[in-house]
Amino acid sequence: MAKPVTQFACTECGTIHKKWTGRCDGCGAWNTIQEEVPLSAGPSKQSLGTAKGRRVALTDLATQEAPPPRTLSGIAEFDRVLGGGLVPASATLVGGDPGIGKSTLLLQAAASFARAGRSTVYISGEEATAQVRMRAQRLGLADSAVRLAAETNLRDILTTLEAERPDLCIVDSVQTMWVDTVDSAPGSVAQVRACAHELTRFAKRFGTAVILVGHVTKEGQIAGPRVVEHMVDTVLYFEGERGHQFRILRAVKNRFGPADEIGVFEMTGAGLSEVANPSALFLGDRERPAPGSVVFAGIEGTRPLLVEIQALVAPSQLAQPRRAVVGWDGARLSMILAVLEARSGITFAGLDVYLNVAGGIRVQEPAADLAVACALLSAREDQGIPPDTVVFGELSLSGALRPVSQAENRLKEAAKLGFTAAMAPEGCKTGDGVISLRTLPDVATLVGEVFGAG
């Protein structure tokens, strides 16, 4: 029998390498390669091929009964991110940093699901049932009908699940589970993949909605959630800044709904509470508007979201001035600085630049370009933007401003929160005329007319 060949897998992205290397070719991460013993070669318990793989015409499927309706978890923000509730027979991955609140969120969702009369199982591989119960008590859910189990052997778990066939099963976390067919330690790429595969298969066969928890890992000892992203139907990440109580659940992949939806929560002493109007919350603690502060009218998924973007520009003591960003893309900041310099002659050479999105949220839209440019110019020229103004628009390398999607929704949300003016690219229209709109063709006009510089 051929001797099993060892291979090396990246714990970040799962790429398989023949030899150990310091840097993964797949994702470029350093120090994430771990030795893996592959599934043993030789005869295995493979099936000999049955009629199960037979073809079905798509038209036949259409005449079958309609797909079972989604079931609501009862936590509106969670259901929104899922695209309208949990889909039976689906696998969902919820990833996030340790301590961000994944277990709390899912225990709350499980309890709410059970309250609606659905059978729910919560399997913890990290905490004893007594600990989970203590958490439930703290969350005021101690009398919930959720069934708890503390177990890590996937074979045992699946045997129990097959007998019970619950509507929802939560596995916290997939990195603690292990199957005996794989020869490596729990948390290795091979184990995590094998467990995710078995659980996904279980979901499809028995109609259970399975939710897997995956910790984002900092160093390469344990495989991160990214290695199972392609196996599941839906991938959600739970994120937030440590110092802030706001938490954002973000869909990054969704076979059953939009993939850019967010849900906003607030971590309180009694668990996570939903935030129905995040704009008001993110702008709520805004101080007196100062130079460098600009309100960006953004869209997250289907929902408008106003956030404050702050910039600080100061003379640098360093040979290479500092560029620091929180909540936005660092490369995009460099691009905007370069466009401002090349297209309007405003230079940031010799100046440290700090950019911060207030409230601990991460903005990913290019539509924030104009707001960032305004914040940078406002900080550099020490000239405030009127506090009742929102800004949005994408910047191209030529310095021209490009229109962005859902301009009307952005303006409507701004009007709702009491803003009366907006700066936007040419071609935008005011919805109901509550907001006075100032359209700009390019960045040179912004610099010349709005800031009177250049």
List the interface residues with Mg ion, window 226-265 (CB under 5 A): none
Q: Of 373, 383, 387, 437, nearest to 408 (Cα)? A: 437
Question: Which of Mg ion, ligand TYD, none is residue 101 near (CB under 5 to 8 Å by kind)?
Answer: ligand TYD
The contact mask relative to ligand TYD for 250-269 (x = CB under 6 A, - = no) is -----------------x-x
Judged by CB, which is closer to Mg ion: 214, or 263?
214
Q: How far is the CB of 252 from Mg ion (least distance, A)?
A: 20
Judged by CB, which is closer to ligand TYD: 101, or 257?
101
Stretch that binds Mg ion, among 95-103, 262-270, 364-372, 407-415 (CB under 5 A): 95-103
Task: Report d(CA 432, CA 408) in Å as an integer.
Answer: 9
> 100, 203, 309, 415: which one contacts ligand TYD (CB under 6 A)?
100
Question: Which of ligand TYD, Mg ion, none is residue 67 near (CB under 5 to 8 Å by kind)?
Answer: none
**Any residues with CB less than 8 A from the CB of 422 and at least 6 apart, and which?**
297, 389, 390, 391, 392, 410, 411, 414, 428, 430, 435, 436, 437, 438
Stretch that binds Mg ion, among 4-12, 103-111, 262-270, 340-348 (CB under 5 A): 103-111
List the interface residues with Mg ion, window 345-404 (CB under 5 A): none
Q: Which two tokens stand for residue 345?
A: 């002659």
Stretch that binds Mg ion, among 50-58, 101-109, 284-292, 388-396 (CB under 5 A): 101-109
Q: How far is the CB of 361 from Mg ion (least distance, A)?
A: 23
> 14, 85, 95, 96: which one contacts ligand TYD (CB under 6 A)?
96
Q: Of 154, 166, 161, 162, nearest to 192 (Cα)? A: 154
List the interface residues with ligand TYD, window 113-142 (CB under 6 A): 135, 138-139
How many distinct helices (H) and strands (E) make up the chain?
11, 21
Judged by CB, which is closer to Mg ion: 100, or 235?
100
Number of neighbours of residue 412 by Cβ within 10 angstroms: 17
Residue nearest to Mg ion (CB): 103
Judged by CB, which is closer to ligand TYD: 101, or 166?
101
What 3-state class would DSSP assign to 248?
A: strand
Whole-angstrom CA distances from 156 to 210, 217, 419, 445 are 16, 26, 58, 67
**Any residues with CB less than 8 A from the CB of 201 and at least 6 apart, and which?**
none
Please provide the size of the chain in residues.
454
Write out the E strands in 176-245.
Answer: 209-215, 234-239
Query: What backbone phi and psi angles, to 5 degrees, belong to 136?
Result: -60, -40
Residues that bind Mg ion (CB under 5 A): 103
Residues that bind ligand TYD (CB under 6 A): 96, 98-104, 135, 138-139, 267, 269-271
